[in-house]
Every structure is written in structure tokens, then in C-alpha cells.
Structure 1
Amino acid sequence: MTTIRAFTLRDTESVIALWQATGLTRSWNNPHLDIQRKMTVQPELFLVAVDGHDIIGSVMAGYDGHRGWLYYLASDPQRRGQGIGRALVEAAEEALLEMGCPKVQLMVRPGNDEALGFYDTLGYERFSTTTTGKRLIAD
């Protein structure tokens, strides 16, 4: 039976392994540092899906007072189609809504049509925008 709960530090290695298995990690990001940072800012918005003792999904959310954001949504590739991703998104949306968040957004890397299709089924709208960024701290 799958349950969704807040991330705890003992989940770290399992979550990172999940992120690696789903292609979410990048050479320029340190997932341990990403987790460490998240645990200092709205840690209640870092959720995991668990089956028994196994981590089978994750999502990080954040709310800046204007918009909510979703990051690191992942579900076990062997369990795709079982509603894990949907349940995680819904749980994150509920938590954001409880904080007064009026809108949630996320970013999808170019070419990830499977993810775009998934978010389409959840009612997410595609925007034509350009995202820019600047690294302030080297990982």
C-alpha cells in the first residue's frame, strides 16, 4: 500500500537513487546539497511516496508568496502507471493550497514529452516563456 509522507533524512540515499534512476540528476547539481537546502526552507513541502519501507516517489514543492513550484517529481520506473506521480502532485498541491498558494508551476526540460503529457493529464497549461538563471553559489 502506498502512502505519502514528509521526507526524513533517513530517506536521503533512497531518494537520490530514485532521482538517478529517473534521470533527474545533473552533473552540475549536487543532490545531497539540494536536499540539505530544502530541509532549511519549507521542509514540510518535500514529500515521498512509500510502499512498506521502499521509497517509490518524491516531489519537492516551494511557495514564494506569489506562486508555488514543483521540483524533483519522480516515481519508480518499474511502477509507472500506478498513480504515484499523480498522488504526489495532488498532495503537493493540497499543501500549497493550505498555505494560500493561488497557482503552481514547474519546469520541464526540452524533449521530455512523456513528462509534458503527464502534466497535460493533470490539467497543467503549457506557457511560452523563457526561463533564465544565474548560479550564485557553486555546488
Structure 2
Amino acid sequence: MSREIKGIIVSRLIILVSIILVPIAIFVIYNLVDFNLWYSTDPLLKLVVIKLLCPFIFSVSWLFFLLLFINRFANTLDDFDRTISVVPSRLKFFYGINAIYILLIFIFPIITPIISILIFFCESAH
């Protein structure tokens, strides 16, 4: 049984929030970090490519990936909630913060280009 708060299924709410926050996070990262283009020093080109085009491509691919597997992700969160219910809350918080840190610093930057390539390959095959 899925956990509900005031009639809202929590796993679906988490997926909805991630669909909203992932593109925002990608745009924030690309706009806060100063990347350089190796092939040009033109500031307009840098603005278009790094601040607009790259975040758009990565955001669209993550959105497609999340929307494609929305039910699978929600069911995984429900299964995870059932399995981890015996663990104390303090450990859930500690390991949850560690997992978020590892995901944001190491996993997402490595996996985002791969997901983008796969998603655009799938779209071009149709």
C-alpha cells in the first residue's frame, strides 16, 4: 500500500517534484558555473551554447527519461518505503543526505550526457 498524506500519494508527489526540480537544477548549475568553450572566445556564442542550449538539451532528456518511466519510479519508491520502514528515522536521514550528496556530485554529472545521447537516439529512431 502506498503512503498517503491527506489523500496525496507520496511517491507520486516526489516524482512530480523531481520533474519540476531537475530542469531547474540543471539550468542553475550551468548558469552558476563558468564554463569555457575550447573552440571560441565569443561571449554571445558562449551564452547561447553554455547558458541556453546545453541546459535545454540535458533538461529535455531528463524530462523524457522521467516521464517515460514515471510509474516504474513511483513503484520503486513505494517498494523502497516498504522495505526501509524498519530502519530508524535518524539513519534514514543520515543515509538519505549521503545519497543526495553522492547523486548530485558524482552520479548525475556522469550519467546526464549518456541519458541525453540515448534519449535523442530513441527520438531520432522514431
TM class, shorter-length: under 0.3
| Structure that is richer in strand per residue | 1
Mark the structure with the bigger radius of gyration: 2
| Structure that is richer in helix per residue | 2
